[in-house]
Structure formats: C-alpha cells, structure tokens
Amino acid sequence: MSRLLTAAALALGLAALPTIGDAQSFRGGQPIMWGADEVSRTPTVLSLRGRAELTQGDNRIRADRVEAAITDGDLTRVEATGNVYFVTTAQTIRGDRAIYTPGNDTIVLTGDVILTQGQNVMTGARLTYNTVTEAAQMDGGSGGRVQGVFHPERGGN
C-alpha cells in the first residue's frame, strides 16, 4: 500500500510540472520527455537522479544524474554527470560529465570521451559538439592525445 501511495504522490507531483513540456529544446522546439528513478523540481531547477534521461525527437541525454536550469519555463542549461551518453541518429557520445547550453546548441562532454559514428571511433578528454550543425571538436586534455579509427567508405569499384 505504501508503494501505491508513493506512486500516486509522485504522479500528482509530476502533473504539476506544466512548463517542462514547453521547454526550449535540444533542437527545433519539439517537446522534451524526461524520466528518472527520483525527480525533484523547484521553479528554477529540474533534478533527475538514477537512470536520468531527457529525450527530444531523435536526441537523448542519459546519465546517473541530470540537473536542468529553468528560466521563464525554458531549459537554459543542462548538466549531466556519471555515465553520460548523448545519442543522436548518427552518433553516440559517451563521457563522464556534460553541459548542454540550448542558447548556442552546444554540448560539452568531458572525462573519458568516446565518439562513435558507425564503425568510426574517436577518443579524447573533451568534446564540444554542436547539435544543429553536428560539428565536433575533440581535445586530448593535459598531455593526452586525441585518437581515432576511421573506416573509409568503399566506392563502387
């Protein structure tokens, strides 16, 4: 019975979050879906803990914890920590921490960063990725190197 009451209370609490569905987006103003094991919200912060996930269209951020700053009903900054994945239709990016800024469509992942696109793989310490242009810049960090394996597309020879 206690689980049922907890679930009912959580459902009522989540129903009181009308501004999140209208939040600014990863891309193009589409609604943002979210989920986690634990959720808390203030007028300025949405906090997701345990299997935290934000999804919009084909883009998804998944991490142990996600904190989203909210200003006037819009997401203005998203910080993800612990086992961070940013997944698009073309790439999967993994890191230890990520900060996404909707104002400039940029996500910066740090830690042991791994970018995969098909069979191609690039690793480094810091990746800056534009979610609109899909431009990426990888840095090796202090003394580190950027490394990669690229598989050329085979022509019709």
* CB of 126 closer than 8 Å to CB of 116: no
**pLDDT tens digits, 70-115:** 898 888 999 999 999 999 888 899 999 999 998 898 999 999 999 9
Q: State which residues form the domain around 88.
A: 13-149
In order of 14, 35, 59, 77, 119, the CA distances from 91 in angstroms are: 31, 22, 10, 22, 10
Q: Is residue 91 in a domain?
A: yes
The mean pLDDT of 57-67, rounded to a whole number, is: 94
Q: How many domains does the chain have?
A: 1
- Rounded to whole angstroms, the Cα distance separating 83 from 94 reads 7
**Mean pLDDT computed over every residue of the chain:** 81
**pLDDT tens digits, 39-56:** 999 999 999 999 999 998
Among 17-21, 95-99, 114-118, 147-151, the least confident range: 17-21
Q: Is residue 4 in a domain?
A: no
User: HEC states along the chain?
Assistant: CHHHHHHHHHHHHHHCCCCHHHCCCCCCCCCCEEECCEEEECCCEEEEEEEEEEEECCEEEEEEEEEEEEECCEEEEEEEEEEEEEECCCCEEEEEEEEEEHHHCEEEEEEEEEEEECCEEEEEEEEEEECCCCCEEEECCCCCCCEEECCCCCCCC
Q: Is residue 5 in a domain?
A: no
- Rounded to whole angstroms, the Cα distance separating 22 from 73 reads 7
Q: Is residue 155 in a domain?
A: no
Q: Is residue 2 in a domain?
A: no
pLDDT reading at 16 higher than 50: no
Burial class (CB in 10 A: 0-12, 13-18, 19+), 23: buried
Q: Is residue 6 in a domain?
A: no
Confidence at residue 19, expressed as pLDDT on a 0 to 100 scale:
32
Give the model's confidence band at 29: pLDDT under 50 very low, under 70 low, under 90 confident, else very high: low
What's the predicted TM-score (pTM) here? 0.76
Q: Tell me the CATH number at 121.
A: 2.60.450.10
- Rounded to whole angstroms, the Cα distance separating 6 from 12 reads 10
